[in-house]
Amino acid sequence: MTVLESLKLATEYLEKHSIENARLNSELLLSDVLNCKRFELYTNFDKPLKESEIQKFREYLKRRAIGEPVQYITGKANFYGLEFIVTPDVLIPRPETELLVEEILNCYDHNLQLKILDICSGSGNIGITLAKFFENSIIHCIDVSEKAIEIGKLNAQRLNFKNVAFHKIDILTQKPIEKNYDLIVSNPPYVSESKKQSLQKEIRLFEPHIALFVDDELKFYRRIIELTDEFLVSGGKLFFEIDHNQAMNVKSLMIVKNFTNIKIKKDLADLNRIISGVKSI
């Protein structure tokens, strides 16, 4: 069977299992099996696949057909131009979160020596990307999940960024180990438990619930904003990713704590997604 033939069969198979973007999914999985770039499939349409490659592709397709996300099958996800290792212990980095990083990158001179805290760091996608652009800065990433911390460390090591460190901390009951951060960023769990059933099965059945769901949508924002008293320098900035329904509530929490210059940015779906502010006292 050739590359082209296997792609056609795979696409039909995934379509039958109601997988959206079946062709794209097939290409992503096959390029991982063949260890090549997706566009290289197009220049190798007539190349015959080895039996072992067909076997591996078949296994991948079976997993995709029951809803497992491509990124967990291949073990990789792209975020802001970097490739991150992902396992089902960490959330798959989202394009919305790239906007959060972009917002931060637009706010600072990249040569500054900042002390940055990434709360709820997961795979380390935010902290590590900031480590790349802010070479002279120090980034501390914290997460409650031991396994997420391991993945974060692995990603930093693989991508060779030495200015980022990971610590296991439960932000709801513990505090960061250092003070005086110039910038605090967080993409905390913010999906209400009550919305669980309405989510795609890719998310509901495969992504870590600890990364997504909360009984109280404002719990993490309240706690992190509270902690800025002690851990964010005066004039320091706070950046959050938010559920679009919570923009005004998070803004109110920030106003109460005397944050100024509060900005809310929309995502590509035109929904409020990023909020930031400056600690004024």
Ligand X SMILES: C[S@@+](CC[C@H](N)C(=O)[O-])C[C@H]1O[C@@H](n2cnc3c(N)ncnc32)[C@H](O)[C@@H]1O
- Give the residue closest to ligand X by C-beta: 122
Pick 189 or 236: Cβ nearer ligand X = 189
Binding mask 57-96 for ligand X (x = CB under 6 A): ---------------------------------xx-x---
Find the part of the chain contacting ligand X (CB under 6 A) among 21-29, 65-73, 181-189, 193-201: 181-189
Out of 6, 11, 137, 145, point to the residue binding ligand X (CB under 6 A): 145
Site residues (CB under 6 A) for ligand X, limited to 10-49: none
Q: Cβ of residue 220: shortest distance to ligand X, in angstroms? A: 7
d(CA 190, CA 38): 33
Nearest to 128 by CA among 189, 80, 75, 72: 80
The structure tokens listed for 125 are 């996608």
CB of 75 to ligand X, least distance (A): 16
Instruction: Supply the minimum distance, in Å, between the C-beta of residue 52 and ligand X.
Output: 33
CB of 172 to ligand X, least distance (A): 4
Q: Which of 73, 184, 189, 202 binds ligand X (CB under 6 A)?
A: 189
Strand partners, 274: 241, 265
Specify whether the CB–CB gap between 216 and 245 falls below 8 A: no
Binding residues for ligand X, rule CB under 6 A, total 21
- Which residue stretch of 45-53, 183-191, 193-201, 253-261 sits at the interface with ligand X (rule: CB under 6 A)? 183-191
HEC string for the chain: CEHHHHHHHHHHHHHHCCCCCHHHHHHHHHHHHCCCCHHHHHCCCCCECCHHHHHHHHHHHHHHHCCCCHHHHHCEEEECCEEEECCCCCCCCCHHHHHHHHHHHHHCCCCCCCEEEEECCCCCHHHHHHHHHCCCCEEEEEECCHHHHHHHHHHHHHHCCCCEEEEECCCCCCCCCCCCEEEEEECCCCEEHHHHHHCCHHHHHHCCHHHHEECCCCHHHHHHHHHHHHHEEEEEEEEEECCHHHHHHHHHHHHHCCEEEEEEEECCCCCEEEEEEEECC
**Any contact of residue 246 with ligand X (CB under 6 A)?**
no
Residue among 6 and 121 whose Cβ is closer to ligand X: 121
Among 6, 26, 121, 276, binds ligand X (CB under 6 A): 121
> Which residue in 1, 54, 144, 233 binds ligand X (CB under 6 A)?
144
Residue choice 159, 210, 262, 264 for contact with ligand X (CB under 6 A): 210
Selected binder of ligand X within 69, 122, 236, 277 (CB under 6 A): 122
Task: Enumerate binding residues for ligand X (CB under 6 A).
Answer: 90-91, 93, 97, 120-122, 125-126, 143-145, 148, 170-172, 187-189, 210-211
